[in-house]
Amino acid sequence: MTRWRFKRVDRLVGLSVLAAVGLTWFVLVGFDAFTIFVGELNDVGRGSYTLAKAASYTLLTVPRRLYEMFGYAALIGGLAGLGALAGTGELTALRAAGMSKLRICASVALTLVLLTALVVAIGETLAPLGEQSARALALSAKSKDVSLAKGGSIWARDGNTFVNAGSGRTRQTDDGEVVDLSRVRVFEFDDDGRLTTLSVAARAEHAAGQWTLYDLRRTVFAEASATSTQSAEMQWSSGLDPDVLALSIVNLDYLNLRDLGRNIAYLERNGQDSRNFREAYWARLFYPVNVLVLAFCALPFAFGALRSGGLAKRLFIGIVLSIGFFFLQRAAVNLGAVYGLPPALANMIPPALLIALAFAWFRRFA
């Protein structure tokens, strides 16, 4: 009998939280997608970019937005779900029946764990695929000289020169934004369509208004021979627009763990700086931990407010905690970069601090 009672309690709390999280999630993702769609309307008419393509672009990015917004939805929805139980007196009845705050929070966490597992699967599959397809759609419509191939590689044209890059990234320096292309191949053709030169470089960099190829092997084809030369770096006279190329580069936060790991291995194998990729890798790895810790640890702080406050107060609590945790996490990662802390440790500090704070609150008010 006791065992069945606990199952019914879990179902009661879980369904309440599930409904609140679902509604919050829908509103946040819908508002975010609508905002992006309105922004895309400014590009309608550019090239072959139509209203239908703007809508398709927005829809393709929805899986990624579902992934990004779930943390906020889980936190606000968890508070709203408990608030709904408090408003009907069910939360008070559960407490009067001897159910502890920790046990109620555990019922909420059980629901959120299942949802988080689903969201992580979306973030590793549908989100990167949708983001890549969206960018490929937008680029092919807006620019005839740059496109994305399957797997995320970049193809660009500069007159009779065709450029292929395995991947790319942008980074900020004191001199401005730098565009980095990795695993670069440059095909140069004559007016008759014959290949005259093939250049293979470990990477290409656009900085200070010019392109530079690094670790270059250049092969020049004659009528009956081919001559190869190698150089550590070479200035590259190209009219490729770095701003357009930057649009084709998928944000590191949108890559899945496999692609991030592959890029880290490549950069480290070639003696290049992989810290940005390692930070993105560990941030993604800690994503489910951060979501569950933030949502679970926020619930005890809200119990007092849930009895006396309405939806506005619960939303305020959720927003404040979300913003506070976001800045704490950003500060920890940035300080880790400054002081040379491993990205794993820097990402571990915010949830550890939050757990300690929630534990102290439990001990004081449970």
Q: pLDDT digit string (tens) for 140-161? A: 777 666 666 655 678 888 788 8
Q: pLDDT digit string (tens) for 26-69? A: 999 999 999 999 999 988 888 788 999 999 999 999 999 999 99
pTM check: above 0.85: no
| Spatial CB neighbours of 31, under 8 Å, sequence gap ≥ 6 | none
Domains of the chain in start order, with CATH, are 2-130+286-365 (no CATH), 153-249 (2.60.450.10)
DSSP 35-50: HHHHHHGGGTTSTT--
3-class secondary-structure state, position 236? strand
Task: Give the residue carrying structure tokens 């092997």.
Answer: 217
Q: For the ranges 6-10, 113-117, 199-203, 275-279, which has the lowest average pLDDT?
A: 6-10
What is the chain's mean pLDDT, rounded? 81
- pLDDT value of residue 2: 41
What phi, psi does 211 have (nearest 5°)?
A: -95, 145
Is the pLDDT confidence value at 264 over 90? no
Confidence of residue 4 (pLDDT cuts 50, 70, 90): very low
Mean pLDDT of 85-91: 74
Among 76, 120, 119, 108, which Cα is nearest to 323's?
76
Query: Is the backbone of residue 97 left (phi > 0), alpha (psi -120 to 50) or beta?
Result: alpha
Torsion over CA: 6, 9, 13, 18 (sign): positive
Percent of the chain scoring above 90 in pLDDT: 20
- pLDDT value of residue 5: 46
Is the pLDDT confidence value at 282 over 80? yes
What distance in Å separates the CA atoms of residue 283 and residue 70, rounded to the nearest whole number? 15
Among 127, 69, 155, which Cα is nearest to 259's?
127
CB 53 within 8 A of CB 41: no
What phi, psi does 155 have (nearest 5°)?
A: -120, 135
